[in-house]
Amino acid sequence: MNENSQSHAGDVVVIHGHHIGEAERTGEVLEVIGELGHEHLRVRWEDGHESIFYPSNDAVVRPATKGRTKR
Model pLDDT for residues 10-36, shown as the tens digit of each residue = 999 999 877 888 888 999 999 999 887
Has residue 71 got a pLDDT over 50? Answer: no
Q: How many Å apart are CA 33 and CA 36, to the nearest integer?
A: 9
The reply to whether the predicted model has a pTM over 0.85 is: no
Q: What is the pLDDT of residue 44?
A: 98
Judge whether residue 42 has pLDDT over 80. yes
d(CA 12, CA 45): 10
